[in-house]
Amino acid sequence: METLEEKVARVVKEDVAVVPYDPRWPELFKEEKAHLLSCLPKTRVKRIEHFGSTAVPGLAAKPIVDMLVEVTSLDETRQKVPPILEPKGYDFFWRPMWGDDTPPFYAWFIKRDAGGNRTHHIHMVEAHFELWDRLLFRDYLIEHPHVAKDYGNLKRKLSNTHANDRVAYTKAKTDFIVRITNIAKAYYMEA
């Protein structure tokens, strides 16, 4: 049986491959959303959103559909959802929002295909989590294709530099994401 430390060490070393936009990504989101709604407790799930690069038409991305799921209680989610999803092959992590072990924590699942390749990242958070700001980032990139293009170029460069280090890849994107998210917040507040 794999320990948590072994599981974390394994998943952070998986390839970081950025590929051209795939028009099937929105459909893969819809299929997984329907699947989650069919198997998760209906009273615990409030909404499910497609976010991240696969939600931005034309943007190069890792071929992994990011999903943001609002849950009514993270404590209940931590107890009740892994027994539903883990037998279906999902990896579960009780993940810190920032740093190595700094609260707040949230439920994060990796879904894989038959070949073991990641297909979906499912982030389960409560309504007050700042992860919801990523929807502003997504919407801003959709409305501003030149910014999305800059982000795609950055991601391709970083995926070459950090091909087997997902943590370094993610950290290297953070300044761009934070800067554009702040611009998006101001932009949508004025709208």
- Helix (H) / strand (E) containing 48: strand 45-51
> What does the DSSP assignment read for 91-151?
EEEEEEEETTTEEEEEEEEEEE-TTS-EEEEEEEE-TT-GGGGHHHHHHHHHH-HHHHHHH
Q: Tokens standing for 5?
A: 């430390």
Q: Average per-residue pLDDT in the chain?
A: 90
Please check whether residue 69 is in contact with residue 125, taking contact to mean a CB–CB distance below 8 angstroms: yes
* Better-scored residue on pLDDT, 131 or 65: 65
Q: What is the pLDDT of residues 105-137, one digit of tens each?
A: 899 999 999 988 889 999 999 999 989 999 999
| Cα–Cα distance for residue pair 24/101, rounded to 1 Å | 35
Contact 11, 91 (CB under 8 A): yes
Write out pLDDT tens, residues 31-53. 999 999 999 998 999 999 999 99
Residue type, 109: F
Q: Which of 4-8, 34-38, 159-163, 165-169 has the lowest mean pLDDT?
A: 4-8
Residue ranges per structural domain of the chain:
4-190
CA distance 124 to 105: 10
- In this prediction, residue 74 carries a pLDDT of 94
pTM of the full structure:
0.89
For domain 4-190, the question of CATH label 3.30.70.20 is answered with no
Determine the average pLDDT of the residues in 134-155.
Answer: 97
Confidence (pLDDT) at 57:
97
List the beta bridge partners of residue 107.
Answer: 94, 124
Q: Are strands 65-71 and 91-98 parallel, antiparallel or unpaired?
A: unpaired
- In this predicted structure, the answer to whether residue 14 has a pLDDT above a threshold of 70 is no
